[in-house]
Structure 1
Amino acid sequence: MVDSARTVEAVESWGFAGDAVAVSADVVAEALRARIADGKLESLLESSTGRVLFVVSNAERAMVMLLEHPGDPGEHATDPGAEDWSDGFVLSNGQADEYPDADTVPLDEALRIVRHILATGRPPADAAWVVDR
């Protein structure tokens, strides 16, 4: 029997968009924290298989979206029961967005989810996750 998570991990590598250097699950949280500290609140991680992991933060919460291919509505991390809205999600084009907290997660949870996706190819089983397809 083949473990599909191991298969994805073995054939899929990730890197920040525009950067030829691969980033591993072991260092991605540190790299994202450094980008956020530098004011780069939007990050795109591209997979060698064509998938894209989009992370935009306001330094307290983050939206984490996984897209299988261009044009895919994707899937994203959620915070069920959260009722507030948060602002300060600044995209690379300068646009500042506001999102319902239910569609974002605390930054530490976002980093845990991103690490797991890079390590296994999928979100953690215990993460709240919605498929938008």
Structure 2
Amino acid sequence: MTETWVVDDGSRASVSSEGVLEALRSRIADGRFETWLTSSSGRSLAFVTNTQRAMVVLLEAEGDPGEHAVDPGSDGSSDGFVLSDGQHDEYPDQDTVPIGEAFRLVEHVVGTGSWPADAQWVVDR
């Protein structure tokens, strides 16, 4: 069975790799900078952005520390990551990726279930 993904906002409509970027962009335009996607196999994909960079985290199950995309060698940190509960976060740039790369990663994970071969990520388990 192929893994399917839904935006975890009460909707039951699945999103394809072709449609996930439109969903993310629409949520960002509406001021919703945190998006969780849930798969039919129970995995979760988190996307939190400040519109310049994004934190992308893949979790195998509830309670899993997961793994996240990284940008090794990046210096500094970025703020403006607003979570759905109103919390404002700042992350080291090495633990986030530029927004275009984040979109590419999410699209690939939704389409294939795994990180692209050329992606850089770390396991937090």
Deviations 1:59-111 (A, max 9, x none): 11000000000110100000000011000000000000000000000001000
Q: Are 1:95 and 2:84 an aligned pair?
A: no
Q: Counterpart of 1:131?
A: 123
Report percent identity of matched pairs.
Answer: 60
Q: Which structure's CA Rg is the greater one? A: 1
Deviation at 1:37, TM superposition (A): 1.2
Q: TM-score, normalising length from structure 2?
A: 0.97
Deviation at 1:31, TM superposition (A): 1.2
Aligned residues between the structures? 124
Q: Counterpart of 2:104?
A: 112
Q: Are 1:57 and 2:73 an aligned pair?
A: no
Amino acid at match of 1:50: G
Say which SS state the counterpart of residue 108 (structure 1) adopts. helix
User: Which among 23, 38, 42 is matched to residue 31 of structure 1?
Assistant: 23
Amino acid at match of 1:14: W
Moved over 6 A (4+): none
Q: TM-score, normalising length from structure 1?
A: 0.91
> For structure 1, which runs of at least 5 residues remain unmatched after alignment?
1-9
User: Which among 39, 61, 76 is matched to residue 47 of structure 1?
Assistant: 39
> For structure 2, which runs of at least 5 residues remain unmatched after alignment?
none
